[in-house]
């Protein structure tokens, strides 16, 4: 039971960055270029975490084939779900400009955006919980990577929601719920995978990695490039190297 609570606590810590970012994005008029730059940095951080904490770890524990199958499955599942939600108004849920539709422009888009935010956050949180299974201690790099990347996600999305005319109750209620769901997902990642065969655990880790990598390409990089453009690559590399440095310190 204590392990479940610890996993849930770390999931809440990582997920709380979404709420922090949303508060800043909704209450403060952050320049779009700055939002894009922070999103590029967060993308780099997550890319590093996927590479060194998820895919590499899955390969060490289960080999190439389960890692590839898991990553492809995660990418396919995320893509299918994202396509469905995009058609219902969640396509630009992480965009900070005026791309998000209002409820008047597309009925049901608010629900689709909420489900999209949940879709984006669940794989990350499951990985946070599962990272406790190896040696009983959560991966500091995983938590740091998710936290750092969640701040610009919440910031950008909430800024776009404000521009689309969505009220404070909807925005803060949504991100509070997603933060709570992050804690629950981390608990599920720990509880459901606790007795799993190492190969199964590695495959699921790769699946989460594939889903996160697809999310970065589909939702985070487009927002980063939309305004940062010439600086996107440089800022992304800075985020990648920051997370990589944390990996080396942990090892």
Instruction: Give the pLDDT of residue 179.
Output: 92
C-alpha distances in Å from residue 189, one per residue of 122, 126, 182, 207, 248: 10, 4, 10, 13, 25
Integer-rounded Cα Rg, in Å, for the chain is: 17
| Two structure tokens written together for 30 | 């952050």
Helices 232-250/32-48 angle, 10° precision: 40
83-103: per-residue pLDDT in tens?
Answer: 998 888 877 777 776 777 777
Angle (CA) 180 139 18, round 5°: 30
- What are the φ/ψ torsions at residue 136 (nearest 5 degrees)? 85, 0
157-208: per-residue pLDDT in tens?
Answer: 888 888 888 888 988 998 899 999 999 988 888 887 777 788 888 888 899 9
Using pLDDT thresholds of 50, 70 and 90, give the confidence band for residue 250. Answer: low
**Cα 237 versus chain centre, distance:** 18
* Residue boundaries of the structural domains of the chain: 2-250
Task: State how far the Cα of 236 lies from the Cα of 105, in Å rounded to an integer.
Answer: 34
| pTM for the full predicted model | 0.85
| Two structure tokens written together for 162 | 């404000």
């Amino acid at each position: 039971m204590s392990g479940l609570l610890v996993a849930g606590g770390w999931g809440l810590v990582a997920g709380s960055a979404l709420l922090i970012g949303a508060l800043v994005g909704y209450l403060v008029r952050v320049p779009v270029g700055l939002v894009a730059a922070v999103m590029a940095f967060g993308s780099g951080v997550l890319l590093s975490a996927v590479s060194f904490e998820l895919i590499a770890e899955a390969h060490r524990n289960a080999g190439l084939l389960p890692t590839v199958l898991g990553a492809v499955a995660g990418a396919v599942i995320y893509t299918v779900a994202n396509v469905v939600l995009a058609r219902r108004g969640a396509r630009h849920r992480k965009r900070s400009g005026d791309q998000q539709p209002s409820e008047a422009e597309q009925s049901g888009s608010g629900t689709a955006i909420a489900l999209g935010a949940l879709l984006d956050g669940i794989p990350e949180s499951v990985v946070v919980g599962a990272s406790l299974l190896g040696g009983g201690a959560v991966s500091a790099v995983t938590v740091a990577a998710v936290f750092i990347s969640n701040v610009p996600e919440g910031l950008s999305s909430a800024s776009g929601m404000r521009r689309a005319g969505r009220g404070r109750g909807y925005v803060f209620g949504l991100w509070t719920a997603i933060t709570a769901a992050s804690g629950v997902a981390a608990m599920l990642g720990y509880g459901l995978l606790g007795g799993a065969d190492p190969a199964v655990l590695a495959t699921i880790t790769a699946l989460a990695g594939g889903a996160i990598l697809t999310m970065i390409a589909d939702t985070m990089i487009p927002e980063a490039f939309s305004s940062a453009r010439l600086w996107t690559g440089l800022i992304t590399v800075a985020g990648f190297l920051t997370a990589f440095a944390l990996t080396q310190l942990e090892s």
